[in-house]
Amino acid sequence: MMYPHPIIAREGWPYLALVGAVTLLVHYLGGFAWSWPFWIIFIFVLQFFRDPQRIAALGRDLVLSPADGRIVVVEKATDPYAEREALKISVFMNVFNVHSNRSAVNGLVKEIQYFPGKFVNADLDKASTENERNAVVIDANGQIVTLVQVAGLIARRILCYIHVGDRLKAGERYGFIRFGSRVDVYLPLTAEPLVSVGDKVFATNTALARVPGLD
């Protein structure tokens, strides 16, 4: 689950090796006049798979953002994975955001549910129920927190490295989504949201909400 932060996510190493080799070959054969589009692609792939170290937001009873991006939903909704009414906060990630996913809380993994599905724009509300997704239900000191990785329009791979029974620490890296997506967070109705629609957030650095009795 955890690994030393290498700045570039391990999920990107094969892509960087392939694109880098092609770029260097084209540059060698045709010079910069032919290779400059490949250099742009290489730089894009490099920035997409960056995975900087993060410092957790300070405070008690905080739910940390599991992803970088923009808040697109803050509303009361049904959590279909834990079968309850909940506060739903959704983070939309575009292709320029860091796509490493991190645990929002300390807790015990109670359930992991994977659902195949469509690949509509992750910015749309229907992506939460129609797209490919992976839900992780966490027991955080008696409070249930559900994190749902949702594939996006061009995302084609959800990666989740944890298992039922694992204990997570807030800010711990647990997964990755390739190329545009969102993460839905379902919290108890007692949660006090600390973000609004349109806010930019950063995984682990930003607190999404406060839940009394979380720690």
Catalytic residue (choose from 90, 103, 181, 196)? 181
Q: Quick check: 62 and 143 in contact, CB under 8 A?
A: no
As a whole number of angstroms, the distance between CA 147 and CA 83 comes to 14
As a whole number of angstroms, the distance between CA 192 and CA 210 comes to 5
State both tokens at 173.
Answer: 């890296």
Write the CB contacts of 165 (distance below 8 Å, at least 6 apart in sequence): 108, 109
Alpha helices in the chain (DSSP H): 13-30, 32-48, 127-130
- Specify the DSSP class assigned to residue 118: B
The yes-or-no answer on residue 181 being catalytic is yes
One-letter amino acid identity for 20?
G
As a whole number of angstroms, the distance between CA 161 and CA 178 comes to 14
Burial of 80 (0-12, 13-18, 19+ CB in 10 A): middle
As a whole number of angstroms, the distance between CA 187 and CA 77 comes to 10
Residues noted as catalytic: 181
